Structure 1
């Protein structure tokens, strides 16, 4: 089923992860997916299932990729849970689009705090707003008492749609910060939190429902679907090359599918942690993924051996691909807001500026509001006659101030990539360094991905400026 809600913050991740945990600890094989681009919620779903969590997005990953991943999961497990994104009908494409396309019955999670009869109206609207939407039922979250739960159930036009209620309990709330949920790996009691919710969920109609009565869905192959991502026919364009990948609390925004693509391209992957003081592995290219450099700015600033190793790597003409937080670490300076939102240390709410690694000239400053959000695409290649388009997204709270002119900009879906275009994120090319706030979904173009990690100069699509 697909776990959705009227809006963000209703408890989708809590319910989806707890439901997965409930069945996993009963011995069932469970796979979870996340609708839309997201690096944070999947950590909780992966903790609950013990398996990688891939994104499903009809635009970014594509319908064929979504169907193939769902089909592959269904072949090897007993239950598939997909967590929605934002509200059920928010975004293009939306979680509802995904549910309709693949016949995924929707479980609506509604925050019922300070609500009674309106709960029924909201549930009815979610079910009937779009004709043909597969429907599983509704679960009330943050319910005050058994009496309150009874009022909510009575408000439904169809009592059979009632799948239970979760109480209003601070222990059931997953902690958040500016980019979303705190990573499960940062909390010592992460599994205990999921178990606590799963224990309560086990007493609800949803938790008590026999597996045979859960909705059954078949993910049949469709002509033209292409290659199953479990066995991609990807040319070994990176054969013999070693890619060093930063992976720790500061650089944690990594799609498991992106690692699969690099491996399919023939690359050897070598991971290192700047925060742990690891040396840069011997490699042909470096990937600095997104993450939370602002939370660890002081520690990263002190990583002088890493800075020197990256300078030597670049001086040797070896490529670096830096995404979002990875790019932030490469600028001369990083200014934090100095509060608990974006700093690991609360320095009296005084903004602080940290010296960073200096491979890109300029300064990055954290903002109090979101500075970039939405789907993006980037067209590039190593030869003008062989251009390829990477799909992905952007989501960041910082702004870069640099004398470097953008080599190109990404574009929103349906618009043309252009130098100077205001529609997308800047791509900076500084020697062999390629950096952007753009998060790429490598499977959308293995060829373009290979370009990012190639020692050859990249070519960029250049057209007239668009708005």
Structure 2
């Protein structure tokens, strides 16, 4: 069982810049010669996108709704041979998870992966009240995993007073403090925090806590190639198409696919391929540029209508439609494969949800049940009805075109939840070679 240094940053209050601090720690660790990997607790892609702006850093998802305890442990175990440090970023709050439960909360992920927790605190006037809040977090659930406290938006004078009381009343060490980061962009604030971590935080203690993590138990992820033909899957990858699970791409490669990145914004045509993957995004931000690239839109339209296996998630789903409203409310033409015209309406409730597939398609059969993630964003006047979404509050709504060679909807699939989806994707692509 390999020892894999790791720690999880969790916030006691919602207004702490947890993602920027996590990125700063990743950069500070890299500056010390370590090779870190990031993990986001929860299925959104915002934090992962920032993590991966740190040079050389990969970011993955750990979500207990989408997948099992064994799969999450396997993700960490598989990463241990390629990284020297795992940095996990907890979700909002310490115990807050899906649908008012602690499922997939920072505490839940830390418990499952046996990862030490560093609790981020914003100082307040009463040190004793703050200590009582920490004591509540320590004992609200068994084995909180909290190993140290790190104060954010704090000055040296505050820290001297608070640290003494917090350590006395909670029994936890304080690992320093960080002033509130100033800067006009996330990157500016991250760079400020990198410098502050070395000046006013105890990086040595934080890394020692990471080193104290228990060894990981081996477990296997599905990775045997299902074809020797190396089918090419074109993957949309630019500023307009930047939200997808990195684990999905890795699994497709392990199963024998060759991934061909391309840019619907900048490239003139779709590269030669046997399948197409259009990941999630917020396309209204780039509607004008996507619409101007007529040759790309037409090349995608031709091959999808010709039966190219196509997975289109979230913004990719809207991109295959007739039009997308830009930020000014003007409709811009898109690929025209599907009937919908998207608009700035409120789509149904987002987050982790379940769906039932109503039609046979290249990824799965009729009656398949999946766990997926949906994000907020534009709606469409032709959602389709091949998928039935079941929300945690008991409501249901239909959406999606999932028949034949197309699977397109607001859902972001997580292949490690149902690896057979990735197997079928690669095999469908391989069949195009044999045509």
Q: TM-score range by the shorter chain?
A: 0.7 to 0.9
Separation in 2, partners of 1:74, 1:455? 31
1:185 maps to what in 2?
Answer: none
The structure 1 residue matched to 2:297, chosen from 307, 312, 317, is 307
How many Å apart are 1:161 and its aligned residue? 2.6
Distance 1:214 1:430, change over 3 A: closer
| Mapped contact 1:104–1:134 kept (Cα < 8 A) | yes
Is 1:149 paired with 2:127?
A: no
Per the alignment, residue 385 of structure 2 pairs with: 406
Match of 1:40 among 46, 58, 61: 46
Give 1:103's match in structure 2, choosing from 109, 114, 128: 114
Cross-structure match for 1:440: 413
What is the TM-score when the length of structure 1 is the normalising length?
0.79
- Cα distance in 2, alignment partners of residues 114 and 139 from structure 1: 16
The structure-2 alpha-carbon separation of the partners of 1:264 and 1:239, relative to structure 1 and needing over 3 Å to count, comes to farther
2: CA distance, partners of 1:74 / 1:384: 32
Contact 2:234 2:277 in 1 (8 A): yes
Q: 1:323 to 1:369 in 2, by over 3 A?
A: closer
The answer (yes or no) to whether the contact 1:289–1:325 under 8 Å persists in 2 is: yes
CA separation of 1:367 and 1:106: change in aligned 2, threshold 3 A: farther
Residue 465 of structure 1 aligns with which residue? Answer: none
Moved more, 303-312 or 404-413: 404-413
Deviation at 1:210, TM superposition (A): 7.6
Q: Which residue of 2 aligns with 1:170?
A: 182
Q: 2:258 — aligned with what?
A: 268
Structure 1 segment 266-415 matched on structure 2, within 5 A: 266-338=256-328, 351-367=329-345, 371-377=349-355, 390-402=370-382, 405-411=384-390
Cα distance change, pair 359–115 in 1 and its aligned pair in 2 (3 A) = farther
- In 2 relative to 1, CA 194–405 (structure 1 residues): closer, same or farther, beyond 3 Å? closer
Q: Residue 88 of structure 1: which of 85, 88, 94 is its match?
A: 94
Aligned residues: 415
Q: 1:423 aligns with which of 396, 399, 408?
A: 396
Which of 207, 214, 231 does residue 241 from structure 1 map onto? 231
Unaligned segments of structure 2, at least 5 residues: 1-6, 98-102
Cα distance, 1:407 vs structure 2? 1.3
Aligned CA-pair RMSD: 3.2
Structure scoring higher RCO (CA < 8 A, sep ≥ 6) equals 2
1:197 aligns to 2:184 (yes or no): no
What's the CA shift string for 1:361-391, capped at 9, x where partnerless?
1221224798522233555666998976543
Counterparts of 1:206 and 1:377, CA distance in 2:
46
Structure with greater proportional strand content? 1
- TM-score of the superposition, structure 2-length normalised? 0.84
Distance 2:13 2:177 in 1: 18
| CA drift at 1:425 | 5.8
C-alpha spacing 1:45/1:307, structure 2 compared with 1 (3 Å): closer
**Equivalent residues in 2 for 1:44-63, closer than 5 Å:** 44-48=50-54, 50-63=56-69
SS in structure 2 at match of 1:202: helix
User: Following the alignment from structure 2 to structure 1, what is the Cα–Cα distance between the partners of residues 24 and 301?
Assistant: 45
Offset at 1:248? 0.5
Residue 66 of structure 1 and its aligned partner are, at CA, apart by 1.5
What displacement does 1:321 show? 1.3
Aligned partners of 2:226 and 2:423 also within 8 Å: no
Q: Which runs of 4+ in 1 moved over 6 A?
A: 383-387
